[in-house]
């Protein structure tokens, strides 16, 4: 089905970003998977070419482009190429909006120009060893002492964790309260007492630096508080729908890419004297996946339009997130099965797509939590 979202100017942008991925990222990605991290130089290159922080104001070096389609294109092309170590989406589509929506002028001027150029890499740190889904149960504290906060605690599973320079950190400014005790503080590389732990060894997304962060009496200026004290949970709830849509966009694009490579394989590989795709089981599986991916894409494209119109609801974003990532997981499994033993070999891209996909129903709020969000919106 023809997509109606992307007219010529978007296609030109897509071509340019695809060329960047093909030339500067894809040839090195296997090496970066081996190293467990992508080099900072790739961020600078992306910044120079205008692939980061589209919404940033022109005065701060950005394009002032408020159109989610550009984020979607970047996410789709990264997913299509399977270069899952690249954390541009988190930086531009998740971290930057906290500054744009809730940061003050001074904060925007202090950080955004370097985020646009890729000199400064963003991350968001919510999850802790003892609190993931139960965000209000976090234990990292920020105690106000004059013109600074004293921050103590730790975070885990933080995307861009090793490379990050600027971390939207979810803290408790009132540890006796749950949601209402939460605030957002910007922690910066180099602050005394702010250290990185392990770059975690994952089953997939091997080139993505997912890390632990530790805070030991870190003195964070009050000037680094985003918005108002005690409003952090409210800010997160406002921004999470876009994060969930980012994940859904990736899910559909990765599933489509896996199906394409599998279809090719099914036409080339023969068994019992015929292409394996011509067995009725294979044809049915391919037809089912093709149908479901098309259906998913239409819904996600509609969500993109809704987001652009500031109409995307939390439950619609949750629907998109759980359903597409569940689909992605099933598609990867079926596609791997159609590759037979070769599907189990890491030298075949489908094996990596399968492993990279597994986290999608987990992060950004687990799919169980997504169903809670939808159920609650239904009044049950
Ligand atoms: C690769 C990777 C990257 C990540 N990046 C980031 C990041 O950049 N920043 C960040 O802050 N976090 C990040 N995370 C963390 C991620 O968001 C959490 O892992 C996720 O929210 C789940 O939290 P948890 O791991 O503590 O699981 P738990 O909350 O302990 O959940 C365990 C299981 O219990 C289920 N469960 C929990 N509560 C309920 C409930 N009320 N009803 C039904 N079932 C429930 C969950 O669905 C899950 O199946 C990342 C995680 C991974 C793996």
**The CATH number of the domain where 64 resides is what?**
1.10.540.10
Residue 295 structure tokens: 């259906």
- Residue 347, classified by CB atoms within 10 Å of its CB into exposed (0-12), middle (13-18) or buried (19+), is exposed
Tell me whether residue 2 is in a domain: no
Catalytic pick among 33, 76, 212, 243: 243
Enumerate the β-bridge partners of residue 199: 211
Please give the pLDDT value at position 1.
Answer: 84
Rounded Cα–Cα distance for residues 290 and 300 (Å): 15
314 near 237, Cβ under 8 Å? yes
Instruction: Report phi then psi at 128, rounded to 5.
Output: -125, 165
Rounded Cα–Cα distance for residues 263 and 334 (Å): 12
User: What is the average pLDDT across 187-200?
Assistant: 98
Atom of ligand 1 nearest to the CA of 200: 1
| 96 and 156 both lie in a single domain | no
Mutate to test the pocket of ligand 1, among 37, 94, 132 (most ligand atoms within 8 A of CB): 132
Helix axes 68-81, 232-268, angle to 10 degrees: 40
323 near 341, Cβ under 8 Å? no
| 242 and 327 both lie in a single domain | yes
Residue with tokens 């687990």: 366
| 28 and 137 both lie in a single domain | no
Tell me whether residue 219 is in a domain: yes
Q: Is 361 helix (H, G, I), strand (E, B) or coil?
A: coil
Mutate to test the pocket of ligand 1, among 154, 235, 366 (most ligand atoms within 8 A of CB): 366
230 near 183, Cβ under 8 Å? yes
Q: 374 alpha carbon to ligand 1 midpoint, in Å? A: 17
| 317 and 330 both lie in a single domain | yes
In terms of Cα–Cα distance, which of 156, 155, 157, 189 is closest to 171?
155
Residue 241 has pLDDT above 90, yes or no: yes
| 224 and 285 both lie in a single domain | no
User: Does residue 243 have an active-site annotation?
Assistant: yes
Enumerate the β-bridge partners of residue 185: 169, 225
Atom of ligand 1 nearest to the CA of 133: 29
* Residue whose CA lies nearest to ligand 1 atom number 32: 133
* Residue whose CA lies nearest to ligand 1 atom number 29: 133
- Among the candidates 68, 87, 120, a domain finishes at 120
Q: What is the pLDDT of residues 105-119, one digit of tens each?
A: 999 999 999 999 999
Tell me whether residue 246 is in a domain: yes
| 210 and 302 both lie in a single domain | no
Please give the pLDDT value at position 71.
Answer: 98
**The CATH number of the domain where 281 resides is what?**
1.20.140.10
**Half-sphere exposure of 142 toward its Cβ, with a 13 Å CA cutoff?**
26
User: What is the average pLDDT across 221-229?
Assistant: 98
Sign of CA dihedral 348, 350, 352, 355: negative
Atom of ligand 1 nearest to the CA of 368: 47
| 220 and 250 both lie in a single domain | no
User: What is the average pLDDT across 214-236?
Assistant: 98
Mean of the per-residue pLDDT values of the chain: 98
Rounded Cα–Cα distance for residues 83 and 288 (Å): 26
In terms of Cα–Cα distance, which of 164, 166, 246 is closest to 199?
164
Q: What is the pLDDT of residues 249-304, one digit of tens each?
A: 999 999 999 999 999 999 999 999 999 999 999 999 999 999 999 999 999 999 99
Per the structure, the complete domain to which residue 226 belongs is given by 123-230
Please give the pLDDT value at position 265.
Answer: 98
Domain count, the chain: 3
**The CATH number of the domain where 134 resides is what?**
2.40.110.10
Q: 365 alpha carbon to ligand 1 midpoint, in Å? A: 6
Tell me whether residue 1 is in a domain: no
Mutate to test the pocket of ligand 1, among 91, 95, 157, 243 (most ligand atoms within 8 A of CB): 157
Q: 377 alpha carbon to ligand 1 midpoint, in Å? A: 21
Q: 8 alpha carbon to ligand 1 midpoint, in Å? A: 39
Distant-in-sequence, close-in-space partners of 90: CB < 8 Å, separation ≥ 6: 122, 123, 124, 159, 160, 246
Rounded Cα–Cα distance for residues 300 and 316 (Å): 10
């Amino acid at each position: 089905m023809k997509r109606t979202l992307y007219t010529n100017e978007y296609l030109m942008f897509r071509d340019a970003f695809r060329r960047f991925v093909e030339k500067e990222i894809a040839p090195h990605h296997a090496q970066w998977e081996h190293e467990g991290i992508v080099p900072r130089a790739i961020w600078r290159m992306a910044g120079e070419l205008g692939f980061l922080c589209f919404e940033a104001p022109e005065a701060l070096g950005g394009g002032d482009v408020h159109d989610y389609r550009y984020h979607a294109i970047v996410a789709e092309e990264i997913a299509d190429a399977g270069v899952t170590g690249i954390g541009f989406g988190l930086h531009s589509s998740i971290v930057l909006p906290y500054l744009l929506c809730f940061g003050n002028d001074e904060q925007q001027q202090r950080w955004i120009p370097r985020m646009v150029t890729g000199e400064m890499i963003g991350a968001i740190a919510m999850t802790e060893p003892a609190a993931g889904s139960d965000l209000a149960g976090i234990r990292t504290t920020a105690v106000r002492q004059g013109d600074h906060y004293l921050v103590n605690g730790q975070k885990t599973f933080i995307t861009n964790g090793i490379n990050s320079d600027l971390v939207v950190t979810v803290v408790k400014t009132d540890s006796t309260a749950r949601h209402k005790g939460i605030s957002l503080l910007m922690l910066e590389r180099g602050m005394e007492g702010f250290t990185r732990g392990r770059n975690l060894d994952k089953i997939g997304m091997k080139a993505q630096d997912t890390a632990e962060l530790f805070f030991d009496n870190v003195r964070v200026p009050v000037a680094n508080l985003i918005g108002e004290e005690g409003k952090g949970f409210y800010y997160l709830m406002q921004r999470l729908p876009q994060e969930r849509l980012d994940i859904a966009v990736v899910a559909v694009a990765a599933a489509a890419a896996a199906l394409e490579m599998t279809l090719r394989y099914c036409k080339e590989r023969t068994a019992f004297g015929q292409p394996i795709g011509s067995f009725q089981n294979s044809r049915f599986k391919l037809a089912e996946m093709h149908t479901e991916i098309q259906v998913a894409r239409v819904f996600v494209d509609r969500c993109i339009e809704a987001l652009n119109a500031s109409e995307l609801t939390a439950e619609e974003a949750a629907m998109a997130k759980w359903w597409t990532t569940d689909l992605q997981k099933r598609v990867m499994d079926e596609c791997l099965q159609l590759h037979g033993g070769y599907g189990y070999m890491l030298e075949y891209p489908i094996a990596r797509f399968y492993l990279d996909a597994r986290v999608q129903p987990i992060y950004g709020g687990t799919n169980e939590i997504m169903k809670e969000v939808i159920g609650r919106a239904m009044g049950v």
